[in-house]
Chain A
Amino acid sequence: MANVEFEVRGASGMSGDVRTAAVNRQRSVVTSDEVRQWNKEGRIYNAIDGVLTTPATWTAIDLVRQTPNVMIRVPAGMVVIPLFVNIAPEATGAAVLQVLISTCNNDPGTSNMTAATPICTNTRFAAIASRVNAYITGVGATGTAPTNVVDLFRHYQQVDNDAITGAPTPPIIYNPRFGMGQEAIIGSNIAVNAFLVYAVNGTSSTGFITFTWAEFTYAEFYGS
């Protein structure tokens, strides 16, 4: 009878340690979620638009490709998979709340944006810096029009969000693993690519955006 063995991938990558896989007492194979493993490996990072009790100001009043609220700029040689975007509007001021999430295969520039410091969502690695660049608080055009854009998620809400007092107002969530948007892979070995999140109201508004992603070197992700 043969024991099939696999190689353990730990926090430091492939370990060379070869073992059998686990089954439970009912002999069901115990499988692990890949994204949970990325967390273990310290690949998932988080950034925030807005500071605890001070929401970010969303200046745009309509969607403009060059005016994202937040952005992940992926340098050449890196690859990211966006995992989660949590948009919590605070003061919306006017009707029509729009959210758009997209990717592009060029460098949109960083004008009119503020660099954020990503934090790893595995506290063991929280002091280890991300290898991509996150930007928040977009107040104008970034400099270059995004090219080959793919829209992953869109939300259009007719009602003024902060005028809703007769019902809960849960956050708007992009989370493609659970059907809320399309998963995407962003990054190239030769050029900057980007992930773009837009949240606008009919007038300047405020709120918070929390976003997370998994990151890999190009060589890790594509094996070349």
Chain B
Amino acid sequence: MTVEYQIRDFIGADNAGGMTSINARAAITDMQSLLVGDEVRQWIREGRVFHAYEGELTTPATFAPATLIRQQPQFMVRTAAGVVIIPLLSMFALEATSAVVEVLVSCCDNDPGVDNMTEVEPINANSRFAGVLSSACTAYGTNAGNTGTAPTNVADLYREYHQADRDAITGAPTPPIIYNPRIGHGQECVIGNDDEVHAFLFYGLAGVAGLSTGFSIHFWAEFTYDDYYG
């Protein structure tokens, strides 16, 4: 008996879909092992993974707050009603620091607002779709104050606390701080609802207000609510 499965391909201009109704046999190797594709790699192939960053090539972003404040994320992805995201990677590379480094990654089930933030344009992580498929979410960086509304029902997904002034470390490497739940750095989450805005919040700071600088890059997969929940 030959068994067939259905091909899932890239999403459409409405950021939805993918199933093709085309049935085909699954592939095996010459040694007859069944080939299994990684789901996140497939999301990239489908054009679902987007990227945004904070700090420009040689000009780092300035981290305004001196301590963690729920309404002052350094970077934020706001999921519109009807959109669901799964954050995949946040990478935080500090340049100039002044004291204690703190990083916090969290999500909330309301709209924190966008005051004191600068909108950035997400780019598709599959270059075939870069500039063609736009993100259905809005991303923001360069926080300079409260966003307007306190996040509610917050879940903290990752946290770091470093006593050392990072840029004073000269006798050891200072690798980037990484949230990547697929490799154990943090808890994976699902963000989004069918009728309201939810958000992904990334906080990174280093001690003294306005005196720390650095770069952060962020990736997430996005789905329509209907795609995700059927």
Contact = CB atoms under 8 A, between A and B. Distances in A.
20 contacts: A2-B2, A4-B5, A22-B19, A23-B37, A27-B25, A28-B36, A29-B5, A46-B157, A52-B70, A84-B187, A88-B160, A90-B161, A119-B153, A123-B107, A124-B190, A124-B193, A124-B194, A164-B163, A166-B164, A171-B161
A4 B4 contact: yes
The binding surface of chain B is classed by DSSP as mixed
Given A15-B230, A23-B6, A36-B39, A180 B171 contact: no
Interface in A206-222: 207-208, 210, 212
Contacts of B153: 119-120, 123, 126-127
Given A10-B230, A119-B155, A122-B190, 19 more contacts: A2-B3, A3-B23, A8-B230, A20-B6, A23-B37, A27-B25, A29-B34, A30-B8, A33-B39, A36-B39, A53-B67, A83-B187, A124-B192, A161-B163, A165-B163, A169-B164, A177-B184, A208-B161, A210-B156
A175 B184 contact: yes
Interface residues of A, number: 68
A197 to B, nearest CB: 14
Interface in B62-117: 67-70, 84, 86, 104, 107-109
Contact of B8 (A24, A126, A168): A24
Contacts of A168: 162, 164, 166, 169, 172, 174-175
B4 A35 contact: no
Nearest to B166: A168
Given A30-B39, A36-B39, A86-B186, A22 B5 contact: yes
B9 A210 contact: no
A24 B36 CA distance: 9
B39 A84 contact: no
Interface of A: 1-4, 8, 10-11, 15, 17, 19-33, 35-36, 39-40, 44, 46, 48, 52-53, 83-84, 86, 88-90, 119-124, 126-127, 161-171, 173, 175, 177-180, 207-208, 210, 212
Interface residues of B, number: 71
Contacts of B209: none
Nearest to A117: B153
A28 B159 CA distance: 36
Interface string B145-182: 00000001111111111111110110110110100010
